[in-house]
Amino acid sequence: MNFELAPVLALTSAALYGAADFLGGMGARRTNTIAVVAVSQLVGLMLLAVMLVWLPAAPATRDLLWGGAAGLAGGIGVALLYRALAVGRMAVVAPTTAVCAVAIPVTAAMLLGERPSAGRLGGMGLAIVAIVLVSQQRPVAAEVGDHTLMGRLPPGLGLALMSGVAIGFFFLALARTAATAGLWPLLAARVMSVGLFGVSAVVSRRSLRMAAPVAAVVIAAGVVDMVANALYLIATRHGSLSVVVTLSSLYPASTVILARLILGERLSALQSVGITCALVAVVLIVGK
């Protein structure tokens, strides 16, 4: 495989990550979020089990434990993300989540003694600006007795922030695994997340049944997400990690484009600037 192909794989994984988020959000708009996450994660787990046949590795117990921790954080993060995408504007939710998810590992690295470059520090500052901007919307007035509530946060933004934090810890946990472990930590993560939401569905008495068209969307989300993971892994094996991570982290652009083309989502000027800042912040934070 040529080195030049690695950026193509990374960009393709970014497009698929964003498409998976879009599909998951669409599914969550039509049925309960727990069902969407449980089914999509199970589909991904089944596909991953098949992939492992062609990608053998020798994971240590430590790798599997970190994978399980990643699954716990990632499962919660994905559930919050899908719910945020269901109730809010996808073009606002996706970049906000991505910025938080990237910022968490960078902050942890700083606390552990790593000194980020000026570009990364600038990206973190720009991320804060982006979150403020995407939080802006036209004033909404609601009469409550004699009081008027103005300028509430856009729907789903709080969930997006929490989702980004959880997904950030997912990245942190996976980063603690060894390269020799291959995809096994990801398998452990999926087993954990599937178990988590399987139990959640039983405890909350949420049915996993859904209409056939919705099931097709949810299954597609699970397949696309796992293929994106595989392409990302292959890209890191054949190209510069900084380049691959930077390109793969542009996935919100795919979600935003799909939301604009399919759902016709329209944003204010400030929100549009905020989304642009968020995408630039992702590039700066994960870059050198």
The DSSP-derived string for 64-75 is HHHHHHHHHHHH
Give the residue among 263, 216, 231 at the shortest CA–CA distance from 40. 216
Residues near 109 by Cβ (< 8 Å), separated by ≥ 6? Answer: 116
Give the residue among 98, 57, 39 at the shortest CA–CA distance from 187. 57
| Structural domain containing residue 143 | 5-286
| Tally of domains in the chain | 1
pLDDT of 240 > 70? The answer is no
Q: What percent of the chain has pLDDT over 90?
A: 14
User: pLDDT tens-digit profile of 183-213?
Assistant: 888 889 889 988 888 888 888 887 788 889 9
In this structure, what are the phi and psi dihedrals at residue 152, rounded to the nearest 5 degrees?
-70, 160
Q: What is the mean pLDDT of residues 85-102?
A: 81
Q: What is the mean pLDDT of residues 146-160?
A: 65
User: pLDDT tens-digit profile of 55-68?
Assistant: 667 788 998 999 89
**What is the pTM (predicted TM-score) of this model?**
0.78
Long-range Cβ contacts of 106-110 (<8 Å, 24+ apart):
106/285, 108/172
Burial of 51 (0-12, 13-18, 19+ CB in 10 A): middle
